[in-house]
Amino acid sequence: MELRPRYNQPFTLSEAILLDISTISEEITRLQYSIKRLRETQETLQEVIDEAESPGAVDVEIVQAFKENQEVIGSQEERILILKLALADKGVSSGAHYDVDTSTQMTAKSPLHDFDFGEDHNGPGSIEEDDSGGLHL
């Protein structure tokens, strides 16, 4: 099973399936922590935006950071879904432990329902860890 993610991802579902269960689990946990921190930042940025006297009074960099964080959150949520699908392919039930916490989600629409199951478009590559401890091709 292949899918077309909405965002560019560092690995495909096929490549994620090749990873061992502990690596997948650790990456999901790392991504969940990252999303939690990004959402906390989003709350702070949203407060600054809301406190501005007018929409034009908000610092352009703050608005840009807010938009960029939304994209990163969406991409990381999507990556978690890919990893959960890889776990499922291995017969591992990921359960609620790996669910993305949406209680503080700042975006109006989750990117996860934008998935298109079909031919993989990320192409082949080798998987290695990046400096942040995440996976990178």
For residue 5, tell me if it sits in a domain: no
Q: Are 128 and 19 in contact (CB under 8 A)?
A: no
Q: Decide if 77 is inside a domain.
A: yes
| Full-model pTM | 0.69
Residue 123: is its pLDDT beyond 50?
A: no
- Look at residue 45 and tell me if it is in a domain: yes
Report the b/e string of 80-96 with b at 16+ CB within 10 A.
bbbbbbbbeeeeeebee
Is residue 130 domain-resident?
A: no
Q: Domain for residue 30, yes or no?
A: yes
Does residue 137 form part of some domain? no
How many domains, in total, are found in the chain? 1
Q: Are 44 and 93 in contact (CB under 8 A)?
A: no
Q: Which of 21, 31, 37 is nearest to 130 (CA)?
A: 31
Residue 101 lies in a domain: no
- 114, pLDDT greater than 60: no
Domain that holds residue 17: 12-91
Percent of the chain, pLDDT > 70? 66
Asked, for residue 135, whether it belongs to a domain, the answer is no
Within a 10 A sphere around the Cβ of 66, how many other Cβ atoms?
A: 18
